[in-house]
Amino acid sequence: MSPPDARDPQVRTRLLDAAERLFYGRGVRSVGVDDVVAAARVATKTLYAQFGSKDGLVEAYLRRRDQRWMDWLRARVAEAEPGSPRVLAVFDALGEWFGEPGFNGCAFVNVAGELVTHAAARAVARDHKRALRALLAQLAADTGAADAGVLADRLMLLVEGAIVTAHVEGDPEAALRGRSAAAALLQVHAAAA
Amino acid sequence: MSPPDARDPQVRTRLLDAAERLFYGRGVRSVGVDDVVAAARVATKTLYAQFGSKDGLVEAYLRRRDQRWMDWLRARVAEAEPGSPRVLAVFDALGEWFGEPGFNGCAFVNVAGELVTHAAARAVARDHKRALRALLAQLAADTGAADAGVLADRLMLLVEGAIVTAHVEGDPEAALRGRSAAAALLQVHAAAA
DNA sequence: ACCCTAGGGGAACGACCGTTTTCCGTCAAT
DNA sequence: ATTGACGGAAAACGGTCGTTCCCCTAGGGT
């Protein structure tokens, strides 16, 4: 019954969409709340009604991004055959991500470096990395590798390294190098079985 | 002839020291120029006479940190025996760094995520990573490894991954995992020779 | 003895920040 | 039909930002 922009629960979504695009693309502190409300076509009051403060909006933005990014990666990985191919699929997915126009590194790494005193944001960042590590541990175990835990730790370093390199050096092909390094490690851990 | 704080060329150094401590520890945008001049016990006018703007100070801070950090790593590496031990010494050095009280990740990664529009800062970050990559290429070649270039690329990912992990997850032992991964890769590249 | 320059102390500037507030329109439920 | 909660538009708040300016002190070169 509602016209497209009436009485909407979508106000929150519009705010989060704008916040994600701006915070991720320019850095959190470079973006004022006015920028966000203008981009979301929303009143300032609404932002504060929904999130309480800019810090609250930042935290909500990070939580939603964590959820979405992990879901996206899990979906990409699930498209590959179980076992080693799924490990390599992680780096194929990274390669796609690095090539996207707005790519600006890992949102959580960026926040950890920028918002040193924002405890909630740093906690979300830590949890995000733990979730990523858990996914890699699962994939490593599913290869039947010897020392799957160690393999997962090593894959984690490669993933993080590829993201940082693609970002700072502007080199999307870091994904390919990560993939080949992962393949080498898969072989090491398979041989040791 | 000069008393400790007269007519000093050390004014610039004091400014850079304060800038580095504050910018690195809290993030660039969280630190005002007033904070820097207060910490350096210097007049605001002096900062602008020396660096022209806050952006100029940021750039100078990054350049000096690049120089110092690379010199520090090269010195640590040179203490080890030539060949593979020098590759592993990189990760030992990282381990020391991660354990230092003020450790807050890689200054250049942080800046790349925070100062998206600061072209000069991002250029210094890129150059810093290239210098690091060049050092690793040298070390990889000196091991006599097959595909030394590929080995260097892989080591680079491990180094970056270890730094990010130690930072975001607050886990200094990422250095040990990086070291063991590097050792595995060294074996792979030695066996293929 | 003379500036000239570097630096310190501190006020002042205009812009922008995050946040609160006021006023008004409008749907949903009573 | 009235109320109340939600949302938009915009002003206003106090604080902080980067930057500039003024005045003062003190060496050093001429």
The full length of chain B comes to 193
What pLDDT was estimated at residue B191?
66
- Residues in A closer than 8 angstroms to B23, CB to CB, are none
Structure tokens at A144: 């039947």
For residue B171, the model assigns a pLDDT of 98
Residue B58: alpha-carbon gap to chain centroid = 15
Q: What is the distance between the terminal CA atoms of chain A, rounded to a whole angstrom? A: 63
Residues A112-124, mean pLDDT to the nearest whole number: 98
* CA pair distance A158, B185, nearest whole angstrom: 12
- Per-residue pLDDT, B170: 98
C-alpha atoms less than 13 angstroms from C-alpha of B170 in its C-beta half-sphere: 11
pLDDT per position as a tens digit, A137-168: 999 999 999 999 999 999 999 999 999 999 99
Interface with chain B: mutation pick from A35, A66, A118, A154, highest number of B CBs within 10 Å: A154
CB A179 within 8 Å of CB A161: no
A164 contacts B159? CB cut-off 8 A: no
What ranges do the domains of chain B cover?
Answer: 1-52, 53-191
Give the contacts of A47 (CB within 8 A, at least 6 positions apart).
Answer: A15, A33, A36, A37, A40, A57
Per residue in A2-59, pLDDT tens?
A: 333 345 668 999 999 999 999 999 999 999 999 999 999 999 999 999 999 999 999 9
For residue A15, count other CB atoms closer than 10 A to its CB. 23
Which of 1.10.10.60, 1.10.3720.10, 3.30.565.10, 3.40.1280.10 is the CATH number of B1-52? 1.10.10.60
pLDDT per residue as tens, chain B (193 positions): 333 334 466 999 999 999 999 999 999 999 999 999 999 999 999 999 999 999 999 999 999 999 999 999 999 999 999 999 999 999 999 999 999 999 999 999 999 999 999 999 999 999 999 999 999 999 999 999 999 999 999 999 999 999 999 999 999 999 999 999 999 999 999 865 5
Residue B42 C-alpha, separation from nearest chain A C-alpha, in angstroms: 26
Count Cβ atoms below 10 Å from residue A35 Cβ, excluding itself: 15
CATH 3.50.50.60 fits A53-191, yes or no: no
Beta-carbon contacts of residue B144 (< 8 Å; ≥ 6 apart)? B83, B190, B193
CB under 8 Å to B143, separation ≥6 — which residues? B83, B84, B87, B151, B186, B189, B190
- Alpha carbon distance B165, B169 (integer Å): 5
Among residues B10, B11, B193, B163, the alpha carbon closest in space to that of B90 is found at B163
Task: Give the type of residue at A174.
Answer: A
**For residue B6, what pLDDT is reported?**
40
d(CA A5, CA A25) in angstroms, rounded, equals 26
Which residues of chain B have a CB within 8 Å of the CB of A110? 110, 113-114
Which residues of A are less than 8 Å from B156 in CB distance? 161, 165
Chain C nucleotides close to protein (CB under 7 A) are 6-11, 16-23, 26-28
Distance CA B93, CA A81 (A): 39
Q: Are A33 and A47 in contact (CB under 8 A)?
A: yes
pLDDT for A2 = 32
Residue in the structure block whose two tokens are 């490894």: B145
Rg for chain A, CA atoms, rounded: 19
Closest CA to A24 of A121, A140, A123: A121
pLDDT at A93: 98
**A65: which 2 tokens?**
């991004």
